A and B are shown apart, each in its own frame.
Chain A
Amino acid sequence: MMILNASGCLDALTAPTIARSLDAFVTKTVTPLPREGNAPPRIAEVEHGMLNSIGLANPGIDRFLSHTLPRLGELGVQVWVSVGGFATADYADLCDRLDDRPEVAVIELNVSCPNVDDVPASVGEIVGAARAATRKPLYTKLSPATADIAEVALAAQKAGTDGLSMVNTILGLALDGRTLRPCLSRGAGGLSGPALKPIALAAVYACYAATGLPIVGMGGITSGRDALEFVAAGAPSVALGTILFSDPTAPGRIRVELANEIGQLGVGELDNVIGLAHAKPPGPSEISSRTAAVSG
């Protein structure tokens, strides 16, 4: 079980203590060229969540490799690098350049940012090109905005992804209370926070059943109970996003809460919860007899 941050929701160099409270730090998405991001305003609170249209602001791969990555490597926390491109070849190039860097534990392929206009090629193509370019473990970050997410996950699996990160934000719109114009300069933005949780859980549930791949589950996790539900849906690891903005101590708190939840559930170790939501509904005495079996 690992607790990570969702890509783009923490700057480890600005907040190293918070990064070290995670089991792994996931970078903001790195693109081939520097990107300034979208014009402000680029965040807005909504009921039960927030919208962002940051737009993949990042220094670009050259500067990331020369300046950012060496410093991340000194933090003492496992580093996952999120990469994003605008063509299949971009992903291959980015993975190729990260391949021999010892600081990088995992590469996460962001094939699903809702805040850029260029929609890249199919997920299968991208994962296949990335797979050919690196020996590093690959996690593919999926969008919930698709008719059949299990089909996308299967395509990623066939193309060689080692795991899935899910879900990315989903497009939402907020209008200013007085002017009725969009709150964000870009118009719509990515919805995150508790409003995203049921959507994310459904995606994890479907992809676990379809692929059996390791999943980092994310989308509106604010408590140990939320994390437990993601584990039960099939994600052995979870990532925190919006909750880090309001509570940077959330990783430690959620780790404790999750342990308490598992203790109360009486199923023994966390491993026994992974995918539990897929089991046939327990009879009235099944949970307690399973506990007896585990402890016996």
Chain B
Amino acid sequence: MQRAQVEVTGSEQVGPYTLLHVARGGLDPGIPGQFFMLEAPGRPLPRPMSLCLAPPGELAFLIDAIGSGTRALCALQPGDELAILGPLGNGYRLDVERPLLVGGGIGVAPLPYLSESLGRPPAVLGFRSEGHAEAARLVPNAEVVIEPTYVTAAIPAGHDVLACGPEPMLAAVALLEPGAQLAWEAPMACGYGACYGCAVELDGELKRLCVEGPVLPAEAIAA
């Protein structure tokens, strides 16, 4: 992991979400599913964000402005600077034969970079509204479902599922596809194993999600 002070190079609306582009600043984009800690202007703690896209010379993060930190990040303008740390954690294993990407809501964030890395495999994305579903344009070859239809109704058999989304979705995907790789989230102060805040129950013990995950095999976590 490395820390760099980088400049915001762009900020675009994708439905209700913000796609924040920053200069790469010498940082390695890492493996899809890994994350970065983004300084949230005016807040004491940074925010964990999985990498959404890695355009040449840039890193891009899809952010849902749901709290004080994410609102501050979404308000950043080109030319503003922020500190970022990463890449952190363990990403998806990419040695899969028949990948299928499954995402729900803001959980689609790591899928564009993952799709690019895997040669644009098929994807199934679920959203709560048509407006939120605008984020599907970032993921090639995606079938979109809108609530009350859930992604689990649209997952075809015989694939290696790589998923990210809200906990109930991941739990449902785990039941349907026990071999799936799932990206989880938890409150995190540091992202590199220092704060012990992101404890999740793994194999019957509380472990740090930032060290063990955030991508985990479906059978590892009791949702």
State the A residues within 8 Å of B (CB).
8-11, 14-15, 18, 28, 36-37, 39-46, 48-50, 52, 54, 57, 193-194, 242, 244-249
Q: B residues within 8 A CB of A57?
A: 196, 199, 206
Q: A residues within 8 A CB of B195?
A: 9, 43, 52, 54, 245
Q: Is B200 an interface residue (CB 8 A)?
A: yes
Check A193 against B44 for contact (C-beta < 8 Å): yes
Check A248 against B189 for contact (C-beta < 8 Å): no
Contact of A43 among B43, B83, B85, B187 (CB under 8 A): B187
Q: Most chain-A CB neighbours within 10 Å: which of B43, B83, B196? A: B196
- Bound Cα distance from A77 to B205, whole angstroms: 30
Contact of B3 among A46, A48, A247 (CB under 8 A): A247
Q: Is B192 an interface residue (CB 8 A)?
A: yes
Q: B residues within 8 A CB of A43?
A: 187-189, 195, 197-198
Across the interface, name the chain A residue whose C-beta is closest to B37.
A246
Known: A37-B199, A43-B187, A245-B194. A14 touches B43 (CB 8 A): no
Known: A50-B189, A247-B3. A37 touches B44 (CB 8 A): no
Known: A36-B206, A37-B199, A43-B189. A244 touches B194 (CB 8 A): yes
Chain B, 75-100, CB within 8 A of any chain A CB: 83, 85
Check B199 against A246 for contact (C-beta < 8 Å): no
- Bound Cα distance from A202 to B189, whole angstroms: 27
Q: A residues within 8 A CB of B46?
A: 245-246
Distance to closest chain A CB from B34 (angstroms): 15
- Bound Cα distance from A15 to B198, whole angstroms: 16
Distance to closest chain A CB from B103 (angstroms): 24
- Bound Cα distance from A138 to B189, whole angstroms: 30
Q: A residues within 8 A CB of B43?
A: 45
Q: Is B223 an interface residue (CB 8 A)?
A: no
Distance to closest chain A CB from B36 (angstroms): 13
Across the interface, name the chain B residue whose C-beta is closest to A193.
B44
Check B196 against A15 for contact (C-beta < 8 Å): no
Distance to closest chain B CB from A108 (angstroms): 17
- Bound Cα distance from A48 to B44, whole angstroms: 6
Q: Is B193 an interface residue (CB 8 A)?
A: yes
Check A37 against B190 for contact (C-beta < 8 Å): no
Q: 10 new A-B pairs (CB below 8 Å) besides A18-B194, A245-B189?
A: A8-B196, A40-B206, A41-B187, A42-B197, A52-B197, A54-B199, A245-B194, A246-B190, A248-B190, A248-B194
Distance to closest chain A CB from B190 (angstroms): 4
Check A37 against B196 for contact (C-beta < 8 Å): yes
Check B192 against A15 for contact (C-beta < 8 Å): yes
Across the interface, name the chain A residue whose C-beta is closest to B205.
A36
Check B194 against A14 for contact (C-beta < 8 Å): yes
Q: Is B118 an interface residue (CB 8 A)?
A: no
Check A54 against B3 for contact (C-beta < 8 Å): no
Across the interface, name the chain A residue whose C-beta is closest to B47.
A45
Known: A43-B187, A45-B43, A50-B45. A247 touches B194 (CB 8 A): no
Q: A residues within 8 A CB of B197?
A: 40-43, 52, 54
Q: Is B39 an interface residue (CB 8 A)?
A: yes
Q: Is B107 an interface residue (CB 8 A)?
A: no
Q: Is B104 an interface residue (CB 8 A)?
A: no
Check A54 against B196 for contact (C-beta < 8 Å): yes
Q: Most chain-A CB neighbours within 10 Å: which of B43, B68, B85, B199? A: B199
Check A194 against B192 for contact (C-beta < 8 Å): no
Distance to closest chain A CB from B86 (angstroms): 11
Distance to closest chain B CB from A180 (angstroms): 16
Across the interface, name the chain B residue whose C-beta is closest to A243.
B44
Across the interface, name the chain B residue whose C-beta is closest to A45.
B45
Distance to closest chain A CB from B42 (angstroms): 10
Distance to closest chain A CB from B66 (angstroms): 10
- Bound Cα distance from A42 to B186, whole angstroms: 10
Q: A residues within 8 A CB of B45?
A: 45, 50, 242, 245-246
